[in-house]
Chain A
Amino acid sequence: MYKKTTKNQHQRLLFLGAGETDFGMQGENDAAIYQVLPILEKQGYQLFLVDDNPYSLALESGQAQTIVATLTVQNVKAIIKEQQIDGVFPGFAGDRGLRLWQQVMAEWREEDGPRPVGLGIPDSTVDLMNDSAALFDRLSLSGLAMPQATIVRSQAEANELLRDLELPLLVRAHHPAQATTRKIVKRLDDFENAVDQVIEQSLTKEVVISKAINGLKEVSLLVLRDAAGNCLQIGASEDMDPVGIHTSDSLTVAPTLTISDQVLQEMRTQAFQVANLLNIQGPVHVQLALDEKTGRLYIIKVSPYLDYLSNRMALLTGYPVMLVAAQLATGRLIQEIELPDSYHEKTAMMEPVMDHIVVKLPVFSFGDLKASGVRVNRQLNSIQKSVGSALGFGRTFIEAMEKAIRAAHFNNRSFSPKYMKKLSDDEMIQQLIHPHDNRVLLLLEALRRGYEIDELAELTKIDGFYFYQLKQLLAIEAHILDGEPSRQLLNKAKSSGLSDGLLARFWDSDFQAIRELAKQAGVVPTYKALEPSAGEFPENAHQFFATFEEENESVPVSNKTILVIGPGAFRMGDGASAGYVTAVVLSELRALGYKTVIMNNNASDASLLPHLSDKQYLEPLEVSDVMSVVDQEQPEAIVVPGNRRKLIEALTALGQKVIVLPKEKHQPMGPEEGESEFALNIFYDGARAFPLVLTQHQSGEIRLIDQDESQVDLSGIRLPYSGVYQLIWREKTRKWLDQVRLPDFGSDTWLRPMPYGQIAFLSKILQLSLIRLVVRSWKGGLDEDDLDALVAHMPALRGADFAMVSNRTDFDLHLKPDQPVDSTRYEMGAKIMRLMED
């Protein structure tokens, strides 16, 4: 029993920002910080945030003093001293935050004064998390099983070990410089190479070698713990693919379906044990492997901080994980958590239960890369290859999976089944054993070719349940192909998640005809609330998903609603910045007095945060899904990203008022080596264009040019939509220029919408939210006040000490491309850097 901790002991609290997005680090942490700031402010804390991520939404929050600075030990120390910080949240920046905080602690000197307290995670645990051998010892001492691991310091030592251990082995870096990379070695020939590579990634030049546990079932649990040691489970999800395929690259499903209660409870007990051992106040994400033959469990990864699973589970269950996590870190107990009024008063204390199924599908960039001539290794393994994910919500596994497929690809089965037909049987068996990104389609094709469930389960190490389900899906498809669109068949098809578009293809019809047919037959979506009590309590839910049952729980928000179509399946840098743009649009629409409804399907950014909009639909974004929500909400207008051309056309044709957020379909190519791209950045309010600032762009970096162009005459420019644009030209120069001569706008330049990432960057540097201005111009141009503000601001809109630098993603590691990948075009993330005086 513990005495209650004194509240608000630490008045000035600093959030370490999550930094640049990358593989495994999407926009979740930033969204989490953005979400928790208001409630902590209300509780009387003075909040600070340091980050260098240009796409950050939290950096533009009014609830914290935000500091744009590179995330280095020196900067963090300086901020702590200058702002007299009492407590630091390292865990909201994931494992990067822990590493940075550990360095800050290590480099804190007596003369620096009193060191602030680390919130949510004890200092000793921070150290432990950065020392995998010590962590292993700590956990195994307590009876928790982890795959036996040994640390070696040289190739010779590694070879020595090889004699004692059987292949396959897992080789990973000890004290890695970046997020851990893991290599599974199956053949003797690859061993030396793997050790060589991994040793380079270790700060201490040490390699951890352990028995690989490939082929076991992988399950992820998220638990919360408070200062008194009370633990609760937020959720568990299972991977369809076995250990050996990175969990981010596997189809995953929540809640777990194929795990018995006995095993699940044992996993829960172990996860609680881990949380207690590490003395965490907040979330702990534990990944376990289950050997179904022996019933043995292995802990394969422990992440005692906020990561993607916290945000995803919050969205999946309706339980406000981040709001609770932040308060637990400040010392509140589970029964003392405060939540906004929209939650049931006991929500924080109750373990959330789901009465729906959610499937997550990975999104890969192989297609985009192939289109630009880069070939990559598409075989999945223990290194993450996906660049994002999409979620499908339903009331059956099939419905959730089909919706996830549609969410990931914007349409049904865009990866052609014909390609599958060309696959030889040998190739098929190869791919069953060594999976590629086309996993689900391959499994379907194997079933079509008559493979037995037991046989497939053996080859793939995938639970038989999934094959039963896929078989059922094939039966439904066969039924549809053979049948006429009856009410019964339409209901079956639509409740299996199939879209009007796909049915139209099956029945040789068009989407609108199917839609009408279904409507006439009374087959219309029923929206189910997504809330954490599974129907036990009335909750004031704002999150809904479509299914086809009897009761529709969604009531239209108002008669002055704007529907915003989210960016959909997350695609790294582009996805992170699109999430930023969507969130700002929602925030500004609300500020203007509109009720807002958002449709989206990923948990990796802020766009679906409950407090940003009046209602959230967790749906795919095909025309039929959008039109169903339109029928339900009767919005005044629909905001659609400009890259969704077909959707814009279809909605317009159906008589909807569409507001287009200008965006190109693909990220533009960066300038060639030795070349610079220049942009005169323009704000267009629907009638007039205003010059903003000049930027220079070289491969992977953007800087502002200190040159006043506020008087340039742009009166000739006419564009279809208000927005932020760029007049582009290129010159052969490697130098960063202070002055540049403007070309002839008529012939030497081309015009394009400003990429979202640059909008986010410029908004921060210019301290002028460009997206808010765009939203305000939708009423028919900017009003006088905004115009005055913009014009008055213009002379200041030039030069700056900051640059935006694309991160140097290790594409070689993740994707094994046959040629260098343009990091500008396939930007996974970026950081804002302060330029030093030359």
Chain B
Amino acid sequence: MERHLILEDGTVFSGQGFGSLATTFGEIIFDTATSGYQETITNPIYDGQMIVFAMPVVGADGIHAEAYESINPKIRGVIVHDLAEVSTNRQRRMNLDRFLKQHNIPGIYEVDTRKLIRHLRETGSQKATIVDVVDDHARDQLQATVLTNKQVQNTATSKAYSNPGRGFHIIVIDFGLKNGILRVLGEYDANVTVLPYTTSVEEVLTLDPDGIILSTGPGNPEDLPESVLTLIHVLQTKVPMLGIGLGHELFALANNSELTTLPAEYHGMNHPIQEIISQEILYARQGRGYVVNPEQLDTKKLFVTHRDLVDNSIQGLRHREYPAFSVQFFPDGAPGPLEAKRIFADFFETVVDYVQKNN
């Protein structure tokens, strides 16, 4: 059935509904990657957002067990040009349409997504709604909607849990963790404990970690309680630390630096990222609405290790005194290139050093 997408600036796009037929509100952003729709849709960083896929055909690979980045997707809407009705997983049970229905996520297809993306590129990320009828009521509803800033609370675990392995003990502070991080930690056979971000320093240290990962997550890091920054501030002096995505932004905040909000978010995996020290270029999945402000970087504490060569944004930081570092991009891929997985290798080498020196 015909459904409509209304943007905060009043623009309307029409298409056909799929997935859930509920009315939905969210912040609309676009993604230019050509693969990995399932990973993207299930990535918790998209809590509260609607995604427009630049890739015109979405769904052709069906839904697979190994491509979940979280079990319960928190995305608010999926906007595509052409929806492929395919279920090619082993049992041929699930296709994208059915998957979104099951999770109560509305979608809309047959949209001129290229026009929409060109529009968003100029007007920036904004609120949007998918509705059956475009009328004053729908427009008023959209204007009146206040989007939540509790995304991390909404997606991160409230209880500690473990993912045992025989290797190093790695603690993941969960801000809306994506599975990719656990998958890579599994490759290292790490003994993983996932902790809520409300855990205290003492509780963390009592568990005697060999390394700490600040996970990815949705939303604005400044919406998180001050206690998180204190936690990071203390832990970074004790144990090797790696921040990813939201974790990277928090690492910067904890070290006296500030962020800027991007006018249009970047979600894709085709920007070259340069590792400054070696001048090497790598490509990695990115999804960001905030970046560290280079003007407000405390260079006494941190230095820049990676930059995006397209917009020159800071993509990696490192502490001057402690074995603590962070990356804005997603080194676990899922979806996305695997070159950046070496960040985890660096992290584990640091952990080895730390363990050897502190035995």
Interface positions of A (Cβ within 8 A of B): 1-2, 228-230, 232-233, 255-262, 264-266, 268-269, 272, 334-335, 346, 349-357, 395-397, 454, 463-465, 468-469, 472, 526, 528, 533-538, 549-551
The reply to whether A355 and B309 form a contact with Cβ atoms under 8 Å apart is no
| Residue in A261, A346, A356, A397 whose Cβ sees the most chain B Cβ within 10 Å | A261
Q: A468: which of B36, B39, B84, B117 is its contact (CB, 8 Å)?
A: B84
Whole-angstrom CA separation of A551 from B111 in the bound complex: 11
The reply to whether A351 and B283 form a contact with Cβ atoms under 8 Å apart is yes
Q: B270: which of A351, A464, A535 is its contact (CB, 8 Å)?
A: A351
Q: A551: which of B64, B118, B336 is its contact (CB, 8 Å)?
A: B118
Whole-angstrom CA separation of A256 from B61 in the bound complex: 10
The reply to whether A354 and B114 form a contact with Cβ atoms under 8 Å apart is no
Within B262-279, the residues touching A (CB, 8 Å) are 266, 268-272, 274, 277-279
B231: Cβ under 8 A from any A Cβ: no
Binds A, one of B50-58, B145-153, B237-245: B50-58
Whole-angstrom CA separation of A526 from B118 in the bound complex: 15
Q: Which residues from chain A contact B13 at a C-beta distance below 8 Å? A: 550
Q: B60: which of A351, A465, A534 is its contact (CB, 8 Å)?
A: A465
Can you list 6 residue pairs at the A/B interface with Cβ under 8 Å? A261-B36, A262-B335, A355-B114, A464-B88, A537-B121, A551-B112
Q: Which residues from chain A contact B269 at a C-beta distance below 8 Å? A: 351
With A266-B338, A549-B112 in contact, is A257–B81 under 8 Å at CB? no
Beyond the given A233-B337, A350-B310, A464-B92, please list 19 additional residue pairs across the A-B interface where CB-CB is below 8 A: A255-B55, A257-B57, A261-B334, A261-B336, A265-B35, A265-B333, A335-B274, A349-B281, A356-B56, A395-B82, A395-B114, A396-B81, A396-B82, A397-B82, A535-B30, A535-B114, A536-B32, A536-B268, A549-B114
Within B1-52, the residues touching A (CB, 8 Å) are 13, 30, 32-36, 39
The reply to whether A257 and B32 form a contact with Cβ atoms under 8 Å apart is no
B115: Cβ under 8 A from any A Cβ: yes
Q: Which residues from chain A contact B339 at a C-beta distance below 8 Å? A: 269, 272
Q: Which residues from chain A contact B84 at a C-beta distance below 8 Å? A: 257, 397, 465, 468-469
| Residue in B60, B118, B309 whose Cβ sees the most chain A Cβ within 10 Å | B60
B189: Cβ under 8 A from any A Cβ: no
The 3 closest A-B pairs by CB, nearest first: A261-B36, A551-B115, A261-B335
B67: Cβ under 8 A from any A Cβ: yes
Whole-angstrom CA separation of A262 from B118 in the bound complex: 29
Interface size, B (range): 35 or more
Whole-angstrom CA separation of A257 from B34 in the bound complex: 9
* Main SS at interface, chain A: loop
Q: Which residues from chain B contact A464 at a C-beta distance below 8 Å? A: 86, 88, 92
Whole-angstrom CA separation of A262 from B66 in the bound complex: 9
Q: B338: which of A2, A269, A538 is its contact (CB, 8 Å)?
A: A269
A357 to chain B, nearest CB (A): 6
With A334-B281, A551-B114 in contact, is A255–B272 under 8 Å at CB? no
Closest to B183 in A: A262
Whole-angstrom CA separation of A537 from B32 in the bound complex: 11
Interface flags for B70-87 (1: CB within 8 Å of A; 0: not) read 000000000001101110
The reply to whether B32 and A533 form a contact with Cβ atoms under 8 Å apart is yes
The reply to whether B310 and A349 form a contact with Cβ atoms under 8 Å apart is yes
B113: Cβ under 8 A from any A Cβ: yes
The reply to whether A465 and B86 form a contact with Cβ atoms under 8 Å apart is yes
Closest to A354 in B: B34
The reply to whether A350 and B271 form a contact with Cβ atoms under 8 Å apart is yes
Q: Which residues from chain B contact A228 at a C-beta distance below 8 Å? A: 279-280
The reply to whether A255 and B338 form a contact with Cβ atoms under 8 Å apart is no
With A258-B61, A350-B271 in contact, is A335–B309 under 8 Å at CB? yes
Q: B85: which of A230, A468, A538 is its contact (CB, 8 Å)?
A: A468
